[in-house]
Amino acid sequence: MDLGLRNKVAIVTGSSQGIGKGIVNILKQEGVNVIGFDIKEPTYDIDFFKVDVSKKDQVINGINYVISKYGKIDILVNNAGIESYGAVHEVDEYEWDRIMNINVKGVFLMSKYTIPHMLKQGKGVIINIASVQSLAVQKRVAAYGTSKHAVLGLTRSIAVDYAPVIRAVAVCPGSIRTPLLEWAAEQEVGKEHIEDKIKEWGAMYPMQRVGNPEEIGYLVAFLSSDLASFINGTCITIDGGLTTLIPISSPKNR
Ligand code: NAP
């Protein structure tokens, strides 16, 4: 199916690895001109601009680069995000601010400086990579979970403030195999047991596995296209059924 994305211009943040890289790959397959923003240099072929999404000046510089080179921004994918663990009393203030600055303020800044260009163009789509932890939380993710709930709130605000010109949609993934997920597994069980841990997490999913970055990429490509023209202000969960499952066993019929 042709999504009609050829020659569109998209910014993807957090593009150098993981979900961001998966999104870039699929958008490129669809003929989109993709510009990656990340704090880390990419190790693959992409038009790249170094941007820390939590830094206003860097965000403005990056967006100016895109506008001067391509003249428009059709799609913004706010994907850059970091994770940390801890219940409220365990989270120090520095860590709280770091999570909020990247996961929430980063989405705000990127959107704030992209939206005027989309309004001028008369069209645009903003896709925010939130999480299943925007809808419910696992234990000891106070800062991360709060930040991902906020991303959903921000998505809804953008959706109602700028429709019908701009659509905003959140994507809520479950566990996706990325360097971030591997890091999380390592924190729990050490480097040598990463594979076992990811397999164990996967077994908790009705699909019996974790997801992969390209699966998020396909959803983002669809949401970016005019085929999704009535999808606005909502979140699309992509979690292999995780949040559908009530993890309680059922007795046999008597
Ligand atoms: P990842 O493997 O850590 O990749 C994220 C990329 O973003 C990295 O290249 C990272 O650089 C970069 N980055 C970090 N801080 C940045 C900043 N301030 N400005 C620009 N780039 C920055 O993460 P991922 O697993 O692909 O996750 C991507 C997004 O999906 C995040 O928002 C995450 O919360 C969300 N998500 C992930 C999962 C999952 O299971 N993987 C599930 C639900 C939601 P460094 O490596 O140098 O930090």
Asked if residue 190 belongs to a domain, the reply is yes
Exposure letters 19-39 (e unless 16+ CB within 10 A, then b): bbbbbbebbbebebbbbbbbb
The verdict on 67 and 154 lying in the same domain is yes
Helices 56-70 and 106-121: angle between axes, nearest 10 degrees: 30
- On whether both 118 and 219 belong to a single domain, the answer is yes
Work out the pLDDT band at 175, boundaries 50, 70, 90: very high
Task: Using the predicted structure, report yes or no on whether residue 166 has a pLDDT greater than 80.
Answer: yes
Same domain? 219 vs 181? no
Q: Is the pLDDT of residue 42 over 80?
A: yes
Q: With bands split at pLDDT 50, 70 and 90, how would you rate the model's confidence at 51?
A: very high
Give the mutation target among 26, 40, 148, 198 for probing the ligand 1 site: most ligand atoms within 8 A of CB: 40
Does 102 reside within a domain? yes
- Structural domain total, the chain: 2
Query: Domain check: are 199 and 81 in the same one?
Result: no
In a domain, 113, yes or no: yes
**What pLDDT score does 184 carry?**
95
- Together in a domain, 189 and 97: no
Pick the residue whose CA is nearest to atom 10 on ligand 1: 14
Structure confidence by residue, pLDDT tens digits, 188-225: 999 999 999 999 999 999 999 999 999 999 999 999 99
The reply to whether 223 and 152 lie within a common domain is: yes
Query: What tens digit of pLDDT does each residue of 114-153 get?
Result: 999 999 999 999 999 999 999 999 999 999 999 999 999 9
Confirm whether 251 is domain-assigned.
no
Provide the residue range defining the domain that includes 184. 177-210
User: Does residue 222 belong to any structural domain of this protein?
Assistant: yes
Residue nearest to atom 6 of ligand 1 (CA): 14
Same domain flag for 199 and 122: no
Is residue 102 scored above 80 in pLDDT?
Answer: yes
Q: With respect to residue 243, please indicate whether it lies within any of the assigned structural domains.
A: no
Q: For residue 144, indicate whether it is catalytic.
A: yes
Asked if the model's pLDDT at residue 254 lies above 90, the reply is: no
Is 131 in the same domain as 147?
yes
In terms of domains, do 39 and 98 share one? yes
Phi-psi region of 208 (alpha: psi -120 to 50; beta: other; left: phi over 0): left
pLDDT of residue 253: 86
- On the question of pLDDT at 12 being above 90, the answer is yes
* Any domain includes 253: no
The dihedrals phi and psi of 225, each to the nearest 5 degrees, come to -90, 165
Do the beta carbons of residue 46 and residue 63 sit within 8 Å?
A: no
Closest ligand 1 atom, residue 14 Cα = 7
Q: What is the pLDDT of residue 1?
A: 82
The answer to the question of residue 147 being in a domain is yes
Average pLDDT, the chain: 97
Residue of 113, 144, 162, 218 marked active site: 144
Residues 84 and 191 in one domain: no
- Residue 247 pLDDT greater than 90, yes or no: no
Question: Which CATH number belongs to the domain containing residue 224 in this structure?
Answer: 3.40.50.720
- Do 83 and 27 share a structural domain? yes
Residues within 6 Å of ligand 1 by CB: 13-14, 16-20, 37-40, 51-54, 79-83, 102, 106, 129, 131, 173, 175-176, 178-181
Question: Is residue 189 within a helix (H) or strand (E), and if so which, with residue range?
Answer: helix 179-189
pLDDT tens digit sequence for 72-97 = 999 999 999 999 999 999 999 999 99
Tell me: do 78 and 183 sit in the same domain.
no
Does the pTM surpass 0.95? The reply is yes
